[in-house]
Structure 1
Amino acid sequence: MAAQLAPTSALSDALVILGAAGIVIPAFARFRITPIIGFIVVGLLVGPYGLGSLVKNVPWLQYVTISTPHAIEPFAEFGIILLLFEIGLELSFNRLWAMRRLVFGLGAMELFGSALFVALVLMGMGQHVNGAMGMGLALALSSTALVLPISGTHGPVGRAALAMLLFEDIALVPIIFLLGALAPVAAEGAPSLVDILWKGALVIAALLVFGRVGLPRLFAQAAKTKSPELFLAASLLVVIAASLATGAAGLSPIMGALLAGLLIAETEYHTEVEAITKPFKGLALGVFLITVGMGIDLRVVAANFGPLALGVLGVVVAKALITGLLLRLWGQGRAIALETGILMASPSETTLIVLGTAAQAQLIQPATAQFWQIVTAIGLTITPLLAHLGRVSAGRLRNRGEDMGESVEEPEGQRTIILGFGRVGRLIGEMLAEHDRSYLAIDSEPAVVRGARASGLPVLFGNIDSAAVIDRLNLEQASAVIVTMDEPVLSLRIVRKLRALAPDLPIIVRARDPHHAAQLYRVGASHAVPETLESSLQLSEAVLVDLGVAMGPVIASIHEKRDQFRQQIMAEGELTVPPRLKVTRLRD
């Protein structure tokens, strides 16, 4: 009998999850509300504390409720793993290395600063020092699964949040070991930190070697079959294998997922992998949010509303205050510090893990752990609301001119749009101005915008990947758009959007290398300029002139060679992508 009921239970759970995805996402999108809240509300309704509690009296409700909440937890964990995998795809080892000061500087200060502040408050309320430290570290964590989909990873808010969240993910294993060391009685048979470190180092080294040697061959074979299904299978195989490997070594599985994404980001197939795995990430993340909602018992919340509200408010205010102050000390503008601080203020899904570890280590009482677990679930639920509050507050601060200086006078009529006003963008602006060509630049770094405006240059602040910013560009008045950022995934996404909005607009893009240039041509770039090739051509020009060759023939040969390279890159863009896979990407 049990064998017959189990499949029915699994099918009803699948019906609820897929029904939630099919109803929640379109309904909430119509009202411009994030579906994150919708999935959590679904979890509240169909979970064991909602309609699921009525199944004994109303048997047919078993078909529209989650009858076995623990059965879907692996899918929720898979959602978080896919999220970290997608984050890795948007990064690269070069970008991660460039962020090292943010990750290990700002990230460490934010985590330990927030933990210390919360621990001191709890100690003042009578909590024992070891228990206060455990709860401080737990509540100082912020939600990777919710924050990054809201903030992205490219704007100033997204970069700051990404750096802090990466450090928290790295610090999770040492935190758990620290709680074990503080325990009154050490757990028997627990592995030592030294064992985990050397095993983890060995696994990471093996993954790095495989990523450099094996991944390009694996995806090349999958691409040759021209089968999107096989390409998807290879992608999922890599992320699951990497997560299992780091989990078996004692590290967090999400570290393996992040590493898998970073390794694939270094290959020429990362754009296709990102496009083909994105739908699965969204669905699995929805399952995770449903499990968060199922963990909230509204009757317990109602009975303890006052203490729970004070707990949520205290954690949110403390973390927002500490994070915002640290960002100001780090040199960020007030609007960015305010928005990021409020966004990072709620606890994390990993807070539940750390609280459980602290209770198991007898650092806190089970009732105390349960109280703060409910606070964490409520905090996760209000994260989208906090994000909206942060955006609105930061927008008002910018509109008053308190963060970005005086408003800039935009040029009228035809103008060139420069996306990114760093070293490359500023030089392009100077060359346009020298030839009496008007331009308007957009950049997401407050310091860059302030410096440019102080010099009287027409530069606006904005997240370049935002639809609102692209709408503000007035593409019908643009003579050309120049994309200067050294962020391959972001530039591909922007070029695709621009080409869809303006089919005839010249789009000139900075490319990292010939493979990146080929991808840019495929998504609609008019010209893609690889940095590596331009450096070679400039060096060739310099040495030929120094050797006594006349300038005219040298310049002519450089132009001819540049045209040859461009034709080769465009041909490569057509030949290296299987037709069926290319159609899938262009539709996205």
Structure 2
Amino acid sequence: MRVAARGTDPASPQRMASSLELALLYLVAAVLSVAACRSLKLPPMLGYLAAGVLIGPNALALARDSVGVQYLAEFGVVFLMFVIGLEFNLPKLRSMRTLVFGLGLSQVSLTIAATVAGNALLAWVFSMAGKSWGLGWQSAIALGAALAMSSTAIVVKMMAERIELETPHGRRVMGVLLFQDLAVVPLLVLIPALGESAGDMTRALLFAGLKAAVLLTLLLVGGQRVMRWWLTLVARGRSEELFILNLLLVTLGLAWLTEHAGLSLALGAFIAGMLIAETEYKHQVETDIRPFHDVLLGLFFITIGMKLDWRAIWDQWMVVAAMTVLPVLFKFGLVTLLARVFGAPAGVALRTGLYLAQAGEFGFVLLALATQSQLLPERLQSPVLASMVLSMLATPLLIVYSNRIVMRLAASDWLLQSVALTSIATKSIHAEAHVIICGYGRSGQNLAQLLSTEQIPTSRSTSTPTACARPRRPARTWCSATRRGCRA
């Protein structure tokens, strides 16, 4: 990011905003937009997106969509995937393999196949009219791959705020999003190779798959023991600053490692979260990472809004409208149908389709790669980008009003929700009482022993790592009870 040189005229039109001015601009835009959305009872995420649209280079032009800001904003997605990984340890991921590799694989494959088929149909129609369509099957694959992606950042954040990650539709949405993140890996290799010969493309895909398999095996097989040993060593220093610094080092370090292995930043952060989820430091980590996660994710949404070009909408509004509405309706219908095929009730399938109907942040990455590889004609670049941003802008509203939409489309959904709420209430009523012991020093151990003799179950929270290193029954968590997030 450039700063005005000394001696230049501050009033000169060539002057670039300093880093401090840009930071203040983003903060003012974020504060005003989120405050406005809160007052209107709208999701804060919509405020971030709207702020990006207003201050971006295509509206008020108060900020430039610089490469440095974009890269910093990607860290928001990195920390989001890290937090998701904390909730999805290896046993849980194995239990979701049908949703990830069944529902997710079907959605991505069929979206790309439908795009290729639609492109072939348009080419035939244009040829019958004596005109050239000008878009080959290679371009259709690249475009279909970009449209197959959904927004992990928007959807997961809203599901977390609405406490829907563990709901039936939440698990299906997460399964599809996880496969989409995994699918980015071969797609990043496939799209540049589409312009090469079949042999070169096959070799590139095999090499990328081999690298991914080796790296993921090393991280998932031996990473858990190394992670527990390292965090225990750091925690013995009893320094909050040192623990947070090492947490950032682990998260960004694994993200960097997977990126340089040809994978995505987000996948490395997700693996880091999964490895820490297997340790007793999970709750403390969730509390410490939240400030970085919230601030950077907000910056990411602002940069997404800055990509919207109103001139493309104005000049080609019919094309943009068609490319916004048709893919959203297609993905909604496809995901809903696939969810029904994989055994979801009508209401759950409809919610899954609504949550995944939009474009995604990885779609922008694939679209940019297709443009660099000259697979996408210039006449389609701006309309496609505008339609993707508009679909993401509509996502918070679709999720907020999803219950009303589902109630209209599936009249029996209210009955299934009532049964689910009754089941939750019944489990809560019959749950055995337990005592949470905050601190596991001499007094905590004596209290635990007393409660054990009375056969009262306990859960123990301690900030002393050596206490957590002892046999873990009953469960112990390394987390300071003075921290609000740990108490929650």
Alignment-mate amino acid for residue 298 of structure 2: G
2:85 equivalent to 1:195:
no
The alignment's C-alpha RMSD in Å is: 3.4
Q: For the pair shown, which has the larger CA radius of gyration, 1 or 2? A: 1
Aligned 8 A contact 1:226 1:581 in 2: no
Instruction: For residue 424 of structure 2, give the secondary structure of its aligned residue in structure 1.
Output: strand
Residues 308-365 of structure 1, C-alpha deviations (whole Å, 9 max, x = no match)? 0111000001100101011111111111111111221111111112222223333331
Instruction: For residue 125 of structure 1, give the secondary structure of its aligned residue in structure 2.
Output: helix
Aligned 8 A contact 2:186 2:208 in 1: no
Matches within 5 A, 1:381-400: 381-396=393-408, 400=411
Matches within 5 A, 1:84-483: 84-126=81-123, 127-152=135-160, 153-183=165-195, 192-208=204-220, 211-396=223-408, 400-401=411-412, 404=415, 440-442=422-424, 481-482=429-430
**How much does 1:294 deviate?**
0.9
Aligned 8 A contact 2:193 2:204 in 1: no
> Residues 350 and 522 (structure 1 numbering): CA distance in 2 closer, same or farther, change over 3 Å?
same
Q: Which moved more, 1:363-372 or 1:41-50?
A: 363-372
Q: TM-score, normalised by structure 1?
A: 0.68
**How much does 1:174 deviate?**
1.3
CA distance in 1, matches of 2:303, 2:416: 45
Alignment-mate amino acid for residue 317 of structure 2: F
> Residues 560 and 196 (structure 1 numbering): CA distance in 2 closer, same or farther, change over 3 Å?
same
Q: Which moved more, 1:239-248 or 1:300-309?
A: 300-309
Alignment-mate amino acid for residue 121 of structure 1: G
CA distance in 1, matches of 2:32, 2:230: 37
Alignment-mate amino acid for residue 404 of structure 1: L
Q: Which residue of 2 aligns with 1:464?
A: none
Alignment-mate amino acid for residue 274 of structure 2: L
2:485 equivalent to 1:585:
yes
**How much does 1:80 deviate?**
0.7
Runs (5+) with no aligned partner, structure 2: 9-14, 124-134, 440-448, 469-476
> Residues 120 and 404 (structure 1 numbering): CA distance in 2 closer, same or farther, change over 3 Å?
farther
Alignment-mate amino acid for residue 44 of structure 2: P
Structure ranking higher on relative contact order (CA contacts 8 Å, 6+ apart): 2
**How much does 1:233 deviate?**
1.2
Q: Which residue of 2 aligns with 1:533?
A: none
Residues 380-438 of structure 1, C-alpha deviations (whole Å, 9 max, x = no match)? 1111122234232124456x435636967xxxxxxxxxxx89xxxxxxxxxxxxxxxxx
CA distance in 2, matches of 1:369, 1:389: 31
Q: Which residue of 2 aligns with 1:77?
A: 74
Aligned 8 A contact 1:106 1:330 in 2: yes
Residues 516-554 of structure 1, C-alpha deviations (whole Å, 9 max, x = no match)? xx9x6559xxxxxxxxxxxxxxxxxxxxxxxxxxxxxxx
Q: Which moved more, 1:245-254 or 1:363-372?
A: 363-372
CA distance in 1, matches of 2:286, 2:93: 18
**How much does 1:184 deviate?**
5.1
Aligned 8 A contact 1:296 1:377 in 2: yes
> Residues 189 and 244 (structure 1 numbering): CA distance in 2 closer, same or farther, change over 3 Å?
farther
Residues 154-180 of structure 1, C-alpha deviations (whole Å, 9 max, x = no match)? 111211111001111111121232323
Aligned 8 A contact 2:323 2:383 in 1: no
Residues 80-129 of structure 1, C-alpha deviations (whole Å, 9 max, x = no match)? 11111010001110000000111101111111122222332233222432
**How much does 1:586 deviate?**
4.7
CA distance in 2, matches of 1:571, 1:145: 31
Residues 459-498 of structure 1, C-alpha deviations (whole Å, 9 max, x = no match)? 9xxxxxxxxxxxxxxxxxxxx7455xxxxxxxxxxxxxxx
Q: Which moved more, 1:321-330 or 1:376-385?
A: 376-385
CA distance in 1, matches of 2:264, 2:180: 12
> Residues 26 and 222 (structure 1 numbering): CA distance in 2 closer, same or farther, change over 3 Å?
farther
> Residues 569 and 340 (structure 1 numbering): CA distance in 2 closer, same or farther, change over 3 Å?
closer
Runs (5+) with no aligned partner, structure 1: 53-64, 409-419, 422-439, 444-457, 460-479, 484-506, 510-517, 524-558
Equivalent residue for 1:42, pick from 36, 51, 63:
51
Instruction: For residue 441 of structure 1, give the secondary structure of its aligned residue in structure 2.
Output: helix
Alignment-mate amino acid for residue 99 of structure 1: M
Matches within 5 A, 1:476-515: 481-482=429-430, 508=433
CA distance in 2, matches of 1:45, 1:8: 17
> Residues 184 and 220 (structure 1 numbering): CA distance in 2 closer, same or farther, change over 3 Å?
closer
**How much does 1:562 deviate?**
4.9
CA distance in 2, matches of 1:572, 1:566: 19
> Residues 369 and 50 (structure 1 numbering): CA distance in 2 closer, same or farther, change over 3 Å?
closer
Aligned 8 A contact 2:463 2:479 in 1: no
Alignment-mate amino acid for residue 187 of structure 2: I
Alignment-mate amino acid for residue 146 of structure 1: I
> Residues 362 and 67 (structure 1 numbering): CA distance in 2 closer, same or farther, change over 3 Å?
closer
Residues 224-264 of structure 1, C-alpha deviations (whole Å, 9 max, x = no match)? 33333222211111110100111111111211111000000
Q: Which residue of 1 aligns with 2:453?
A: 563
Percent of aligned pairs sharing the same letter: 30
Equivalent residue for 2:24, pick from 15, 40, 62:
15
CA distance in 2, matches of 1:114, 1:252: 21
**How much does 1:21 deviate?**
3.5
**How much does 1:140 deviate?**
1.4
Q: TM-score, normalised by structure 2?
A: 0.81
Aligned 8 A contact 1:147 1:343 in 2: yes
> Residues 97 and 298 (structure 1 numbering): CA distance in 2 closer, same or farther, change over 3 Å?
same
CA distance in 2, matches of 1:321, 1:406: 22
**How much does 1:8 deviate?**
5.9
> Residues 85 and 565 (structure 1 numbering): CA distance in 2 closer, same or farther, change over 3 Å?
farther
Alignment-mate amino acid for residue 276 of structure 1: D
Instruction: For residue 280 of structure 2, give the secondary structure of its aligned residue in structure 1.
Output: coil
CA distance in 2, matches of 1:192, 1:262: 29
> Residues 122 and 508 (structure 1 numbering): CA distance in 2 closer, same or farther, change over 3 Å?
farther
**How much does 1:292 deviate?**
1.0
Give the length in aligned residue pairs: 445
Aligned 8 A contact 2:195 2:373 in 1: yes
Aligned 8 A contact 2:281 2:479 in 1: no
